[in-house]
Structure 1
Amino acid sequence: MRALNLPSFSSGRFLLLWSCLLSLFAAVPAQAAAEDTLVMQPSGADFFIDGSYYSVLEDPSGRLTIHDVRRPDRASQFAPSTGAPNMSNTNSAYWLRFTVRNDDPSDTHWYLDLFDSHINDVRFFQPTATGYRQFHTGADLPFVTRPHPYKDFLFDLPLPLGQTQMYYLRLTSNSKTSFRAMMRNEPVLLTHFQAQYGLLGGFYGVLFIMVVYNLCIYLFIGEQTYLRYVLYVLSCSLLFLSEDGLGFEYVWSDLPGLNHLINAGAPVLLLFTFMHYARGFLDTALRVPRLDWWIRLVGALSVVLLLADIIVVRSGFSFWLYLLPYCLIYYAAVLVYQQGLRAARYLLLAHALVAVSLVFLITRKLGIEFLNNHFTVYSMNAAFVVEVTILSYALGEKIKGIKDARLAVQARLVKQLRKKHLAQDRLVEQLQQNQQLKDQLNSELEAQVARRTQELSQQSETIAAQNRELVRANGLLALQSAAIEKLNANLQHDLQQAQTARVLAKEVDFGEFSQIYPDKDACLSYLADLKWANGYQCRKCGYEKYCAGREPHARRCTRCRYVESATAYTMLQKCKFSIVKALYAVFLINAHQGNYSSQEMSRLLDLRQATCWSFSQKVMEAMRRRRQSLDYEINESWTHILLDATSETEEASESDFSASLSQKV
């Protein structure tokens, strides 16, 4: 096998590069002597190998060898291809067979150039005197396994003059692709190397310049859109390095796994960085907020579906998922341009060029023969160079527009400040005039104040004399007021005593009674004062010191902690209705000497008749016991009945006796 020496590109060959590139695009394909035979002709031109020059055999098992496919039964299964074969089944191996005849008398070496550098496994079988020699390479293997250090798969076609030989290719790919190759002689191939690597070097040079230029602008002015643009251009560079194979050739040549990862992830990264940059450039969050929400949602879903297709599905047609986000961005650019952002027209122009190049890419992915030449193959590179240049200019114009708007705002502010300064000058002048008027007025006021002060001093002497007379009058009024207050207090005390005496002496209505005992608290206070009028003594231990209990007016023994309420051991103990009404009921029954109807009491107190009758019996029994007591006095106060607790004591004793009896039993 001859080693191919790749020439280095120098500046002295710049004109030669362009002339060679034009000659490449104008080259006429060689005409095969037969339909299924590739002919090496002395014209020196390379030509594209279309489907009429080879046959295809699909191996679903992937286990066939060169000896298997050469057997007559397998050889008859090779089917002629009418176009570029689509390797749609990623689990199958595809065998390609083609025949080559050498009619070139010159000592020119020919090569088979396989374009798609992403095919995972490539095996080229070269005929020898004893059989076939295998060259094994592919994207799954390190770069050093390739016969020639070139970004495409390049294989030698050593064939003596006048002979015809059959060659085989075995291809396996994890993604759907199509077979595309050219047959080139050595002089044309060297010229192609110079032109191709030179143009690709210029392409990446432009991208590098754009990155450095916009990164410097970002570091100087701190505008986030420039940083987003730098990230977008870097993702473009990574995508093209993986797409054209230069990254695998020069950067990560010993890492095929990393090469696969970059090949799969670079388009997703490009989509993400482009949407991030476009949203910031167009200000969609401010100008079209609702559409911006849809752009973010569709972008996120597209990224998730792309990753799912790369990792799980592996359909090979995930490039269709890029269309919807890009269309939304394009539509947003149209709306923003209509709103007045003139820089958006550059984004529309740049994406129109990229859309044309994407048409050629999609047709190649689908195996459609549509203007497949060097211009269309590298149209995306050219489109992206134009795009990043236009977008860089558009970004500059946008920043310039922002700067002009800022300058306009500053000019308006300066104008307003000038007006403000003029107004301040006029105000200062007015203040000076006001100060002069103020001084004049102050002098006049001082004279008036002096005159007025003299008048006031005379009036103050008159007022002082009048004040002395008023002081003597006030002393007399104070003595009269004190006497009146004392008289009012005595009258109030006498009135209260009269009311109380009237209550104690005769019948009053419930309204008047309620004025003396208005609520439960007043009744409990009165009952507690009546119950402990002679001092407190604990019923359990006889201790005389107490503190307040939880209930109002209850008392707790500080020694044994026994609590006694105000109603305990009184007529009102365990009373089931209002204590105010109960107090008034005791008063009525005592005033009528027990001859008060329970029906009338029920109507007056708004209680059940049975309740009133039961309480009346209880009060009359207490009155009977009171009359039989030794200290009973005729016409004594009805309040003595309140302290009668014989019935409650008896009930408590009976309950204690029953409890003790049950314990003994």
Structure 2
Amino acid sequence: MRRFIFIFYFVFASSLYIQTLANELSDTRTKIVIKDGVSHVKISQMLDFYLDTASQFPINTIASESFQINFKPVTDAHILYDYLDSDIWVRMTVTNEHQSEGHSLYFESWGFDIKKISFYYPNPDGSYSENESGFSLPFYKRKLKHKNFNYFLDLRPGETKTYYLKINRSYNQEFSFHIRTNEKFLAHSWNEYFMLGIYYGVLVLIFIFNLYLFIKLRDSLYLYFIGLIFACILFSLGRDGIGFQYLWPNAPWVNRFNNANVIELLIIVATLLFSNRYIQKYTKSDRVFKMTFWAVLVKLLLFASQIYIYELYYITYLVFTILILLIPFSMGLYMLIKSKIYSWSYVFAYACLFLVIVYSYSKSINLFNNSVLNWYFVYFIIFLEMILFSFSIFNQFKFLQDDFIKANREKTLVLEKNNQLTQELNSKLKKKVKARTEKIEKMAADLAQKNVELQTTNLKLQELNAQVTQMNKLLEENNKELRMSVEVTTKDLALMKGLDFENFKKVFPDKETCYQFLSELKWKDNYHCKKCGYNKYSEGPVFSRRCRNCNYLESPTVDTLFHKLKFPIEKAFYILYLSNRKDVDLTLSELSEILELRRETCWAFKNKIAQAMEKVDHNKDLNGWESLALVHLE
């Protein structure tokens, strides 16, 4: 009996110990504590993960207490380097220690190229809700319409919640997970979109400028460069998710073009054609042309083989691609050096292209500790490549100018030689007249020979004159194009600065310009009649619109801040423009003197602007001054 009691107590004590140990292991989870005053935490290696090789577990099983022991701490930003066909479950336990209720927390998975990511957030009843997104799913499935994967964490001060992510990736990528407050999230998003806007803006300007050169000069060099810029823009749009967000949100299959090497094929073919035409403009070389032709053909065959026949290992494919670019480039560079033409911008632009290709394929290369810098480093190289190729084109203008100077020198030498020959002939003729008559026949023969030389010289002069005339015409066209480009760029730069009233009047010189701007702003989302709601109209005087149904005529100023304005609208525009600038604070007297208005008039309109700002809760940092123009004060 005692033996039985001893065995019973031993089994009971062992079970209690095992249960206690299991509870302790299940509670050993990595926790993320958001302390008061902290607005951003990078949490890539502050998570736990579980590899679901069979993709068989639902969220209820994953979130159960008994399953938590299967999670392991994340020790590397890649989480795992293999098992690409398996789902990775990520557990994120967050504690909010903020004292203020005014800070919301957002989770962000930075980067666009995650194939599929499911975010599970807890409900009050203990269940979990799911939100799916990824580059293989339509964009509208995202709750926050952002190019990255962002989710709102409904986490109040003092609360601790556990969230789960199920990730399906297409390559061994490095994950960059962050938690930000709402203020930090907005600032980060605006900065990122602003820098991308500058990047794409410069590329589009270069694209438009070269399109204009192609239309004017009909030179295929600019057409190939346009193709290269277009391919780089497509590559960037597909890489950062901007294209998916704004251009093809309902067509996720377009995102696969970057993974299928289609854009890379367009970039390489356009570069080869551009490089060949660039070399041919300096020196006619059949060898460079033939090598370019074979390089394009081999690249097309390699691309077809990669997709339909046999897929090479990416390092091998990268080596073949670099060789395809390097051989024609080396031959072209040799021909330039042989002709004593040194275009360093062309060489460095090609080096940038090689760097872009290597860096794009070798996604495991990290030059910086910051994952954002590592990702956007390619954009800087593409930007530099386009600038350097543009400099190469401008260097060709200098080459044409040098040719023009050389032709003038040759023309001068020919004229000097012609004068010298004429003097020699005159001298000899004087001597022949005084000489004996028996040498007349010999003099006639000499004269005939000199006439032949003069005719040959004159023909050469005519050819040189024709070349000089053609070069002058080409230089005049190039100078005109450059002046027009400088004027457009100067105007664009001027509008980005703060303007005084005289410069502001150059942008809005009269009331017609202001009415036109206000009309386009007011009806940018289509016209609807205020009386009957009809959407068809005809143009009226001073950019007004008349309804085709009820014949109601509506002025651009109706239901705007300028309704029933008693002084010139262009002056009202300037007052509204100044009200949105924090760096300019004119007194009413100064504003009255500048605009030649009564002080009371300026005060009344500024008060009206203040009421409009208060009505729409206007933010000078986030909104432009034109957003106040459509505010209607009754």
CA distance in 1, matches of 2:350, 2:157: 51
Aligned to 2:45: 51
SS in 2 for 1:378: helix
CA distance in 2, matches of 1:42, 1:312: 58
| TM-score, normalised with respect to structure 2 | 0.55
Letter in 2 for 1:165: K
In structure 2, the CA distance between the partners of 1:101 and 1:294, relative to structure 1 (3 Å rule), is farther
Aligned to 1:257: 253
Determine if contact 1:115/1:181 at 8 Å carries over to the other structure. Answer: yes
Aligned to 1:129: 124
Shift of 1:240: 0.5
In structure 2, the CA distance between the partners of 1:435 and 1:237, relative to structure 1 (3 Å rule), is farther
Equivalent residue runs for 1:418-457 within 5 Å: 419-420=417-418, 423=421
Cα deviation digits, residues 101-148 of structure 1 (max 9, x gap): 212223311222222323232211111123111001222222111111
Aligned to 1:349: 348
Determine if contact 2:275/2:329 at 8 Å carries over to the other structure. Answer: no
Aligned residues: 408
Which residue of the other structure, out of 100, 104, 107, is the alignment partner of 1:112? 107
CA distance in 2, matches of 1:425, 1:226: 50
Shift of 1:187: 0.7
Determine if contact 2:143/2:151 at 8 Å carries over to the other structure. Answer: yes
Aligned to 2:302: 305
CA distance in 1, matches of 2:323, 2:180: 40
CA distance in 1, matches of 2:146, 2:96: 24
In structure 2, the CA distance between the partners of 1:353 and 1:174, relative to structure 1 (3 Å rule), is closer
Which residue of the other structure, out of 87, 95, 99, is the alignment partner of 1:93? 87
Shift of 1:291: 7.1
- Report whether the alignment pairs 1:67 with 2:60: yes
Determine if contact 2:109/2:148 at 8 Å carries over to the other structure. Answer: yes
Which residue of the other structure, out of 261, 267, 270, is the alignment partner of 1:273? 270
Which residue of the other structure, out of 204, 207, 212, is the alignment partner of 1:208? 204
The answer to which of 370-379 and 155-164 deviates more is 370-379
Aligned to 1:411: 409
In structure 2, the CA distance between the partners of 1:193 and 1:409, relative to structure 1 (3 Å rule), is same
In structure 2, the CA distance between the partners of 1:367 and 1:428, relative to structure 1 (3 Å rule), is closer
Shift of 1:201: 0.8
CA distance in 2, matches of 1:135, 1:89: 23
CA distance in 1, matches of 2:124, 2:312: 42
CA distance in 2, matches of 1:174, 1:401: 48
CA distance in 2, matches of 1:186, 1:316: 43
Aligned to 1:222: 218
Cα deviation digits, residues 428-469 of structure 1 (max 9, x gap): 99999999999x999xxxxxxxxxxxxxxxxxxxxxxxxxxx
SS in 1 for 2:235: helix
Letter in 2 for 1:411: R
SS in 1 for 2:137: coil
Which residue of the other structure, out of 171, 176, 180, is the alignment partner of 1:180? 176
Which residue of the other structure, out of 34, 39, 57, is the alignment partner of 2:33? 39
Letter in 2 for 1:393: F
Letter in 2 for 1:197: Y
CA distance in 1, matches of 2:191, 2:179: 17
In structure 2, the CA distance between the partners of 1:200 and 1:70, relative to structure 1 (3 Å rule), is same
- Report whether the alignment pairs 1:247 with 2:240: no
Letter in 2 for 1:403: Q
Letter in 2 for 1:179: F
Determine if contact 2:368/2:374 at 8 Å carries over to the other structure. Answer: no
Aligned to 1:547: none
CA distance in 2, matches of 1:94, 1:311: 30
Letter in 1 for 2:117: V
Cα deviation digits, residues 58-83 of structure 1 (max 9, x gap): 43x44432134345676444443321
Determine if contact 1:288/1:332 at 8 Å carries over to the other structure. Answer: no
In structure 2, the CA distance between the partners of 1:292 and 1:117, relative to structure 1 (3 Å rule), is same
* Percent identity over paired residues: 20
In structure 2, the CA distance between the partners of 1:396 and 1:160, relative to structure 1 (3 Å rule), is same
CA distance in 1, matches of 2:289, 2:210: 25
Determine if contact 2:273/2:292 at 8 Å carries over to the other structure. Answer: no
Determine if contact 1:54/1:97 at 8 Å carries over to the other structure. Answer: yes
Shift of 1:288: 7.6
CA distance in 2, matches of 1:327, 1:45: 48
The answer to which of 166-175 and 120-129 deviates more is 166-175
In structure 2, the CA distance between the partners of 1:347 and 1:126, relative to structure 1 (3 Å rule), is same
Aligned to 1:645: none
Determine if contact 2:366/2:374 at 8 Å carries over to the other structure. Answer: no
Determine if contact 2:210/2:222 at 8 Å carries over to the other structure. Answer: yes
Cα deviation digits, residues 590-645 of structure 1 (max 9, x gap): xxxxxxxxxxxxxxxxxxxxxxxxxxxxxxxxxxxxxxxxxxxxxxxxxxxxxxxx
Shift of 1:384: 1.8
Aligned to 1:520: none
Determine if contact 1:175/1:315 at 8 Å carries over to the other structure. Answer: no
Shift of 1:225: 1.9
Aligned to 1:639: none
Equivalent residue runs for 1:259-408 within 5 Å: 259-261=255-257, 264=260, 265-283=262-280, 296-309=293-306, 317=314, 320-321=318-319, 322-328=321-327, 331-332=330-331, 335-336=334-335, 338-339=337-338, 342-353=341-352, 361=360, 365-366=363-364, 371-408=369-406
| TM-score, normalised with respect to structure 1 | 0.53
Larger radius of gyration: 1
The answer to which of 293-302 and 153-162 deviates more is 293-302
SS in 1 for 2:117: strand
Aligned to 1:153: 149
Determine if contact 1:159/1:165 at 8 Å carries over to the other structure. Answer: yes
SS in 1 for 2:378: helix
CA distance in 1, matches of 2:257, 2:206: 26
CA distance in 2, matches of 1:422, 1:369: 68
CA distance in 2, matches of 1:87, 1:358: 22
Letter in 1 for 2:383: V
What are the ranges of 5 or more consecutive residues in structure 2 without an aligned counterpart? 1-27, 442-634
Determine if contact 1:207/1:237 at 8 Å carries over to the other structure. Answer: yes
- Report whether the alignment pairs 1:165 with 2:147: no
CA distance in 1, matches of 2:220, 2:293: 18
Shift of 1:167: 1.7
Determine if contact 1:354/1:387 at 8 Å carries over to the other structure. Answer: yes
Shift of 1:174: 4.1
CA distance in 1, matches of 2:275, 2:137: 38
CA distance in 2, matches of 1:406, 1:45: 63
CA distance in 2, matches of 1:333, 1:183: 51
